[in-house]
Amino acid sequence: MANRGARARMAVALGAGLTMLTLSPSAAPAADPAYGEYLSSECVACHRRDGQDKGIPPIIGWPRDQFIAVLQSYKTKDRQNQVMQTITGRLSDDDMAALAAFYGSLKPAN
């Protein structure tokens, strides 16, 4: 009898553990800099990671909200730039937040 009780408690504990596991991805912050770095592979062809301006504006070290707002303004076509409009058209809000987290964490090279 005692054994059965212990088993039942184990099952409950296991169930709770599984619930936490399945919930954790959505509970994690949406702005994941590592995911932003992954997405940035598309950006680095034009925007330099070291923040130097070689004809294309540098985008590192920006405040998060400003970065997202600018990307949104290309997506909604308030800002006129064909390339950036096309690129941001494929980005979700989470993608933009992740990119903002990643680029915001970069410091200019001296």
The residue ranges that bind ligand HEC (CB under 6 A) are 39, 42-43, 45-47, 56-57, 59, 67, 70-71, 79, 81, 83-84, 87, 99
Tell the smallest beta-carbon distance from residue 79 to ligand HEC (Å): 5
Q: CB neighbours of 22 closer than 8 A, spacing ≥ 6?
A: none
CB of 26: closest distance to ligand HEC in angstroms?
A: 24
Task: Find how far residue 103's CA is from the centre of its chain.
Answer: 10
Instruction: Report d(CA 27, CA 33) in Å as an integer.
Output: 16
On whether the CB atoms of residues 42 and 71 are closer than 8 A, the answer is no
Q: Which CB sits closer to ligand HEC, 29 or 55?
A: 55
- Residue closer to ligand HEC by CB (options 47, 75) is 47
